[in-house]
Amino acid sequence: MTNYYRAAFALAFLLLAGCRTQSQTMSVPAVPTLSVVAAPELVHSAFDGDRAFADLTAQCALGVRPPGSLGHTQCLELIRQRLAPNVDKVVLQPFTYTDPARHVTLHLTNIIGIINPNAAKKVMLFTHWDTRPTADMDLDHKNQPIVGADDGASGTAAQLELARVFHAKRPAVGVILLFVDGEDWGPGEEKMYLGARYFAAHPGIYKPDYAILLDMIGKKDVTIYREGRSQDWQPELNAKVWKAAADLGYGANFPDSVKYTIGDDHVPFHEAGIPAIDLIDFDYAYWHTLGDTADKCSPQSLKAVGDVMAKVVGDEK
C-alpha cells in the first residue's frame, strides 16, 4: 500500500469512527484516545541553539583568531564578557610559549568560568578558543590562517550558552567551563594543546573530578562517535554521555561505536591524571581549510551537544 492510500484509508476510518461516536454518545462514554497514543515528550534543556549559533558567528565575525592576531585579542574579550554574567567567577590564566622555529613568543590565555566554586565535586567542560594559524589541509592556501567556525568557535559557543543554562538552573555540583588557548598552534603535535598542557600542569583549586572536551561539534547534522583513547581510558564516562544522548533522542547525532582515535586536548589531561574524554565529529571536509566557516555549522547541532552536556552535568549529585 502506498502512503497515499494508507493515509486515505486512515482518514476514511477516522471519519467513520467519528460518525459512529457521535451517534452513540447517548449510551457509550467517549473514549479519550489522544492521551493514550501520545508519545512521552522528551525533556530537553533550556539550551537555545540560535543564541549559541549567534555566539559562533560573533567569533567568526572577528576574523581569524590565531595567537598574536587582533582577532585573538578581541575574542578573549568577547568570551570574557559573555561568560562573566552567567558564572560565579571568571579567572584568566595567562602563560607564554616560545616557538623556536618561528622565533616568536606567544602570549596565551586560558579562560576559566566557575559555577559553585565551593562544591566538593567538580565537573569540567572544556574547549579551545584559538584558531589554526595555517590552513595545512587546504592545498591552495596552506599558509593562510583559518576562521575556524567548527574548529574553535563551535565548542566555545556551546560552552557560552551552557553557562546561561546553568545560570538559569544551577547544577548541584561545581562546574568549570574552561576555554583553552593554543590548541591549534603547530603544525606538529609538540606545538599543539598548549593551553591544555598548561592547565593540566597548573590546575590549582580548579582540578575537576572529570573533564569533557568539546571540539568540532557544530557541523550541520553533527555525528559524534566514541573516540578511541577516550573509550580506552574512560569507558564509564563515555557510557554516561552516550546514555544521556540516547535518553534525549539524540542517538542519530551520537552513534554508539568507536570510529577515530585522535590526538587532542584530552591527552595532556589524561597524562596529568585528570579523567577526560573527547567529543569530536572528525568527518569534516573543511577541517584546517579556509572553508571552515559558519555556513557549514548549525544551531541544531550546537543544541544537540548542549542538551546532552546539560543533562550529564545536571544529573550529577
**Least distance from Zn ion to the Cβ atom of residue 98, Å:** 21
Name the grid cell of 52: 549559541
Between 157 and 244, CB nearer to Zn ion: 157
Between 136 and 209, CB nearer to Zn ion: 136
Between 65 and 164, CB nearer to Zn ion: 65
**Least distance from Zn ion to the Cβ atom of residue 215, Å:** 8
Strand 174-180 with 122-128, pairing: parallel
State yes or no: residue 181 binds Zn ion (CB under 5 A): no
Strand 174-180 with 104-115, pairing: antiparallel
Question: In this structure, which amino acid lies at residue 153?
Answer: A
Between 200 and 216, CB nearer to Zn ion: 216
**Least distance from Zn ion to the Cβ atom of residue 288, Å:** 6
- Which one of residues 55, 184, 278, 292 is an interface residue with Zn ion (CB under 5 A)? 184
> Cβ neighbours of residue 27 under 8 Å, at least 6 residues apart?
none
**Least distance from Zn ion to the Cβ atom of residue 269, Å:** 17
177: left (phi over 0), alpha (psi -120 to 50) or beta: beta
Q: Under rule CB under 5 A, which residues in 110-169 are in contact with Zn ion?
A: 132, 151
Name the grid cell of 289: 581549510
CB-based contact 91:179 (threshold 8 Å): no
**Least distance from Zn ion to the Cβ atom of residue 180, Å:** 12
* Nearest CA-CA partner of 160 in 74, 64, 48: 48
Between 225 and 250, CB nearer to Zn ion: 225
* Nearest CA-CA partner of 98 in 88, 90, 108: 108
Q: Which residues bind Zn ion (CB under 5 A)?
A: 132, 151, 184
